[in-house]
Amino acid sequence: MAIAGATTAVVSPPLVPVALIGSTAPDWMEWVAATIGKRVKHRSVTHYVAGWIIGVLAFGLLWDFKHIGLAFCYGGLTHVLADALTVTGVPFSPHSDRRFHLFGGRLRTGEAGEYGIAWGIVLLCVALGGLLHTAMGWYPFFYDWAGLYESGVIDGSEWKANRFRFL
Ligand SMILES: [Zn+2]
């Protein structure tokens, strides 16, 4: 969630919630399937790396509504790629019988390395956001609503409506 949220925030803050829902989807889709009576093994069908890549490409290149499908599949892709860093790994596609691993798949869920990678990426994104801010006067994480109002970009009612929105 940290990886999907932070990277999406750099590109498009409004899509962060969608990416967050997507980033947990491979796991919650498993119990959605279970509640409708289709038991799926953990880290199987919903964790095909190829499936999420196809989703990203399809929504990115063919059709999408306000990039919602793209953000959702991008979130899902970050999830399965993060799972691929672990010892168990993930299946690449229905046709692969071996598990797919990234960087040798040495991480164990819940261990320090996992947090190191996730927060490392978050810090990188915050730094990148800072760079964008100095380079283009735009900071994706904390909108400068008061500054926008003072410089006349937005009017008083917009400032009132948005001043407590920090993303
Ligand atoms: Zn998972």
Distance 99 CA to ligand 1 centre (A): 13
By residue range, what is the domain housing residue 58?
Answer: 2-133
Amino acid occupying residue 137: G
pLDDT of 138: 58
Same domain, 145 and 129: no
**What is the number of structural domains in the chain?**
2
Same domain, 112 and 147: no
pLDDT, tens digit, 9 for 90 and up, residues 29-69: 999 999 998 888 899 999 999 999 999 999 999 999 999 99
Same domain, 26 and 89: yes
Q: Which whole-number Å values give the CA distances from 32 to 21, 38, 46, in the listed order? A: 14, 9, 11
Same domain, 145 and 117: no
Distance 36 CA to ligand 1 centre (A): 19
Same domain, 166 and 141: yes
Distance 56 CA to ligand 1 centre (A): 18
Q: Which residues sit with Cβ closer than 5 angstroms to ligand 1, an ion?
A: 26-27, 83
Same domain, 6 and 24: yes
Same domain, 66 and 14: yes
Same domain, 90 and 149: no
Q: Which two tokens stand for residue 52?
A: 């999420």
Distance 27 CA to ligand 1 centre (A): 5
Distance 40 CA to ligand 1 centre (A): 12
pLDDT of 10: 87
Same domain, 65 and 113: yes
